[in-house]
A and B are shown apart, each in its own frame.
Chain A
Amino acid sequence: MPLSAQSQADDDQYVLKASMDNARNLSNILKAIAFKDHSIFTATPNGLRVTVEDSKCLQANAFIQAEIFQEFTIKEDLVAFQINLTVLLDCLNIFGGSSVPGVLTALRMCYRGYGYPLTLFLEEGGVVTVCKINTQEPEEPIDFDFCSTNVTNKVILLSESLKEAFSELDLTSEVLQITMSPNQPHFRLSTFGNSGNAHYDYPKDSDMMEVFQCTETQTNRYKMSLLKPSTKALALSCKVSVRMDGRGFLSLQYLVRNDEGQICFVEFYCCPDEEVEEE
């Protein structure tokens, strides 16, 4: 493979090496969380986690398991760095963002450790591009302390049911209100915008509803500006799980299938907006 442009000696110095025959399997999922430049890469023997945060109230994570890569070698238990995600995506798409059938861009990512840039080797049609992207000291991703034992309400929906609603969301509404309840309306999205209030209802016995586990009635509002970026992840996904815990924290988990049919996950955590309306 033409990407072995490095000497054996260089190879041994990398704490992280990862290769993919199809760079789109990484770039597509990263696009789903690229609403900020600033991202934290965390690699473990299980794979790669990329985190983007917004105003300490929202966190988006993309998980790409080690098995998705053709090669994934890590010399430490944890390798982490901060990197500009917009720049990384421009590099991953250096040969053009659109997909031409049958034309793949191969990728090899290498990282030597603290203080070193992330090096990418990309190859398409015999042409090789080498990118070196500066990294910084990583900040610790926020721990939203969201665990399944505290989940009060959970639904799993087919993404197509939510895509229409999310693409039509009234952006003049400052909040997106989510109601989950064992009783009607079961699962409701609401907006309060300049043109009036809008409600999208998903009954528990709908074809689109795969799992419905709601134990108590909860209504919470979340800043529209924080949740709107999740529309990209929704567009890529086939299923989404929506969970609320006792504090009103929201977890959205998206199941994404890549070009080869392998599964990756994207999740969003969001704090409720301070002004919570009492029902």
Chain B
Amino acid sequence: MKFRGKIVDVACLNHFTRVITTISKLTKTCVLRLTPDNLFFILSGKVTNGGVSMWCQLSQANFFDEYQMDGVSAEDNEICLEVSPENLSRALKTVHNAKTVKPTLSSSSRVVTHDVPVDIVPRRLWHELKEPSMPDFDVSIFLPPLKMMKNVVDRMKNLSNFLVMEANLSGEMNLKIETDLVSVTTHFKELGNPSWGDHASQDSGPSRSRDPEVMAQARVDIRKLQQFLVGQQVNPSKAMCNVVHERIVHLILLHEDVSLQYFIPAVA
């Protein structure tokens, strides 16, 4: 197993660093999966991380000037490593002054060396790392400006541990908290709903015949949503949310060359 990549362009390096930093705000450890064309940062939902899961995909060609890998075997030409994104982020920030970055699995280069500890993920566990399929969502909607959403969620967190997110196919989204002391609802309108083309949800009819005014909702741990919003360092070109009524909130951020998906399970 071998991997060697080189980032020369400073803008690419900065962008890569920002992506890693965003990931580091979402999770302490995750799996880095390397394939010939892409890098993936994966967190599978487990009870220990409150059931949230994350899938971030980067197209290697948009970041690396040189990228060579030999996977576990010819049939499984992939490498899966358990990493701490924060360690990676720190390492990247300190090599900022170096003109190029060469992350390698093995020995040192003569310029700057950071050995970031990793664990190999054995092949038998790879099945846990499949790309999550798009859930059979009830409503898909574009998110409001993330900065405003973050401001509101930050304040709501002072008032309650849980938040209800609801959205409909008329481009309306509400964030609601309710406690003994206070109830607060923020109404976002005219957000727009993405059309997913020939996606299963559209074909099977539930969304075709769905009343556009009816809200799909999910009650989530506010800290999980806040964690997602805090991590955003770059304005995405598209930010969307799929809601599976009382089950999952699925957040998707798309940049040109990076996609990030974050799944927050609903709580009772």
Query: Which A positions have Cβ atoms within 8 angstroms of B?
Result: 84, 87, 90-91, 93-96, 117, 124-134
Contact = CB atoms under 8 A, between A and B. Distances in A.
A133 B181 contact: yes
Given A96-B151, A127-B187, A87 B159 contact: yes
Given A126-B189, A128-B187, A94 B152 contact: yes
Interface size range of chain B in the complex: 20 to 34
A130 B148 contact: no
B184 interface: yes
Contact of B184 (A96, A126, A129, A134): A129
Contacts of A131: 182-184
8 contacts: A87-B182, A90-B155, A90-B159, A124-B148, A126-B189, A127-B148, A133-B182, A134-B181
B186 A90 contact: no
Contact of B187 (A84, A96, A129, A132): A129
A126 B144 CA distance: 12
A95 B152 contact: yes
- The majority secondary structure among interface residues of chain B is mixed
A127 B144 contact: yes
Contacts, number: 57
Interface in B159-200: 159, 180-190
- The majority secondary structure among interface residues of chain A is mixed
Contacts of A124: 148
Which 8 pairs show the lowest CB-CB distances between chains A and B? A96-B151, A129-B186, A131-B184, A133-B182, A90-B158, A94-B155, A132-B183, A128-B187
Nearest to B159: A90
Nearest to B189: A126
Given A94-B151, A126-B189, A127-B189, 12 more contacts: A84-B181, A90-B158, A94-B156, A95-B148, A95-B152, A96-B151, A126-B190, A127-B148, A129-B152, A130-B185, A130-B187, A132-B183
Contacts of A84: 181-182
Contacts of A133: 181-182
A24 to B, nearest CB: 14
Nearest to B178: A132
Contacts of A117: 182
B117 to A, nearest CB: 39
Contacts of A127: 144, 148, 186-189
